[in-house]
C-alpha cells in the first residue's frame, strides 16, 4: 500500500501544479487523481486503502475543521451569528423543497424516496467550502464583514440539518415510523450538545496545555486524537453534532490561549498539506461515472432545479444582513459545491433496501461530479472580484 500511496501523492501533486498553472483550483487535480486511480477508473488504488477511505476522509475533515475553529473568535461570531444560523437551514430547506417534487415528476420516485434524494443532495460540502474559506481568511478577502467566517459556520451546520431530514424520510420510507419524532428532536439537541461538549473539551485542553509543558507537535497530536474520539460519539449514533463541536474546541483555545492557538494553527496548516491530498483523492475515487451516466439528462435537470432553490434560499437567509449585493452573490456561489454528505450517505438508501436506491445513488454521484468542480471554480474566480480586501 505504501507504493500505491507514493504514486497517488506524486500524481496528485503533479496535477495540482498543472491546474494551478492554468489558474484553476488545485483540488480539481486531486479529484481527477482519485477518478483516474480509483475503482471506477484504472482501478490502481489499493483495496486496503479503499477499505480505509471513509475513516481517512473523516480524519482529513477533522483537520480542516480544527483549523477553522482556531481562526474564529468571539468578535467574528457576534458579527455573523444570526446570518450563520439562517444559512445553516434555510438554503438546504429551500433546495430540498424544490428537489422533492422535481424528483417525483422527473424520475418517477415515490414521495418519500424523493424526500430521501432531496435531502441527500441538499447538503453543501464542508470538505470543499471550508478549505477555500480558510484561504480567503488568510488573504483577508471579505474580512471587513467576516464573509468567510459566516460561510464556515453555516456550511458545517447545514450538514446536520440536511442529514437529519434525510433520516426522517428514510425512517418513514422503511417503516420505522417510531423513530421520526426522535430524529426531529435530535437535530437541535445534537447541535446544542455538540457545541457544549466541544466548549468543555476546549476548556480542558487549555487547562492541560497550561499545566503540562510539552512540545507543540505533541499538543497537535493530543488535540487531533481528542477530536477523533469526540467525532466517534456521533459515529456511535449519539446525538452529538461533532463537526460543530470540533470547531468549538478550537474557538475556546483561541479565546483562552491565543498565542498557543496561532502556533497550533500553523502546525495544522502543515498537516493539511498531507490531509488535503488524501481527502480530495479519496472523494474523487468515489466518482462512479457509470452511475452518473445512469442518472442521465433528467438527473442534470433535477440538480439544476435544486441549485436554483438553494440560490433563492441563500438570498432569503441573507436578507437584512449587512452584506452588500456583491457579497451576497459570492455566498450564493460558495454554497453550491457538494461532495462530503453525498459520498458518505448516497448509498444508504440502497443498502437499506429502498426500491429507488440505485437511482438515488446515481444522482448523488452526478451532483458531486457537477457541483464540486463548478463550485470550486466559482469560489476561486469570484472571490477577488466580489469581496473587498480587509
Kindly list the domain boundaries of the chain, sorted by start residue. 2-386
pTM of the entire predicted model: 0.79
For 85-106, what is each residue's pLDDT tens digit? 899 889 999 999 999 999 999 9
Of the given ranges (139-153, 163-177, 290-304), which has the lowest mean pLDDT? 163-177
Nearest Cα to 245, choosing from 294, 282, 196? 196
**Residue 157 pLDDT grade (very low, low, confident, very high; cuts 50, 70, 90):** confident
For 350-374, what is each residue's pLDDT tens digit? 878 888 888 888 888 888 888 988 9
**Which parts of the chain fold into alpha helices (H)?**
2-21, 27-37, 47-51, 53-69, 74-87, 90-106, 111-121, 126-138, 147-173, 180-211, 216-235, 242-256, 258-284, 289-317, 325-334, 340-345, 348-351, 357-386
Of the given ranges (136-145, 204-213, 314-323, 336-345), which has the lowest mean pLDDT? 336-345
Average pLDDT rounded to a whole number, residues 121-141:
88
For 280-339, what is each residue's pLDDT tens digit? 888 778 777 776 677 788 899 999 999 999 999 999 999 988 899 999 999 999 999 988
Average pLDDT rounded to a whole number, residues 170-181:
68
What is the spatial distance between Cα 225 and Cα 218, in angstroms, rounded to a whole number? Answer: 10
pLDDT of residue 180: 59
Fold designation for 2-386: Na+/H+ antiporter like fold (1.20.1530)
What burial class does residue 166 get, using C-beta atoms within 10 Å of its C-beta: 0-12 exposed, 13-18 middle, 19+ buried? buried
Average pLDDT rounded to a whole number, residues 95-121:
92
For 17-35, what is each residue's pLDDT tens digit? 988 888 777 777 888 898 8
Amino acid at each position: 500500500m505504501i507504493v500505491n500511496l507514493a504514486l497517488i501523492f506524486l500524481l496528485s501533486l503533479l496535477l495540482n501544479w498543472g491546474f494551478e498553472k492554468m489558474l484553476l483550483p488545485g483540488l480539481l487535480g486531486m479529484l481527477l487523481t482519485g477518478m483516474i486511480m480509483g475503482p471506477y477508473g484504472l482501478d490502481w488504488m489499493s483495496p486496503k486503502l479503499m477499505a480505509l477511505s471513509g475513516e481517512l476522509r473523516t480524519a482529513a475533515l477533522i483537520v480542516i475543521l480544527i483549523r477553522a475553529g482556531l481562526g474564529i473568535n468571539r468578535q467574528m461570531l457576534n458579527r455573523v451569528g444570526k446570518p450563520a444560523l439562517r444559512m445553516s437551514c434555510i438554503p438546504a430547506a429551500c433546495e430540498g423543497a424544490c428537489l422533492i417534487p422535481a424528483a417525483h415528476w422527473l424520475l418517477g420516485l415515490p414521495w418519500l424516496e424523493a424526500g430521501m434524494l432531496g435531502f441527500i443532495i441538499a447538503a453543501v460540502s464542508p470538505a470543499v467550502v471550508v478549505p477555500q474559506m480558510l484561504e480567503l481568511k488568510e488573504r483577508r478577502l471579505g474580512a471587513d464583514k467576516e464573509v468567510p467566517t459566516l460561510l464556515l459556520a453555516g456550511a458545517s451546520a447545514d450538514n446536520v440539518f440536511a442529514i437529519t431530514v434525510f433520516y426522517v424520510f428514510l425512517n418513514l420510507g422503511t417503516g420505522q415510523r417510531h423513530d421520526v419524532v426522535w430524529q426531529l428532536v435530535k437535530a437541535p439537541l445534537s447541535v446544542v450538545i455538540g457545541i457544549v461538549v466541544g466548549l468543555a473539551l476546549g476548556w480542558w485542553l487549555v487547562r492541560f496545555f497550561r499545566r503540562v509543558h510539552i512540545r507543540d507537535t505533541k499538543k497537535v497530536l493530543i488535540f487531533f486524537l481528542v477530536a477523533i474520539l469526540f467525532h466517534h460519539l456521533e459515529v456511535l449514533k449519539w446525538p452529538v453534532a461533532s463537526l460543530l463541536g470540533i470547531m468549538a474546541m478550537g474557538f475556546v483555545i483561541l479565546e483562552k490561549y491565543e498565542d498557543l492557538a496561532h502556533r497550533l494553527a500553523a502546525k495544522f496548516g502543515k498537516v493539511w498539506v498531507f490531509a488535503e491530498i488524501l481527502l480530495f483523492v479519496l472523494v474523487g475515487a468515489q466518482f462512479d461515472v457509470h452511475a452518473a451516466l445512469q442518472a442521465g439528462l433528467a438527473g442534470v435537470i433535477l440538480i439544476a432545479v435544486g441549485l436554483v432553490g438553494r440560490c433563492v434560499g441563500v438570498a432569503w437567509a441573507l436578507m437584512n444582513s449587512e452584506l452588500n449585493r456583491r457579497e451576497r452573490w459570492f455566498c450564493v456561489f460558495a454554497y453550491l459545491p457538494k461532495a462530503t454528505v453525498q459520498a458518505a450517505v448516497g448509498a444508504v438508501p440502497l443498502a437499506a433496501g429502498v426500491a429507488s436506491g440505485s437511482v438515488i445513488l446515481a444522482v448523488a454521484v452526478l451532483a458531486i461530479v457537477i457541483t464540486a468542480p463548478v463550485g470550486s471554480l466559482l469560489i476561486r474566480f469570484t472571490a477577488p472580484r466580489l469581496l473587498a480586501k480587509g
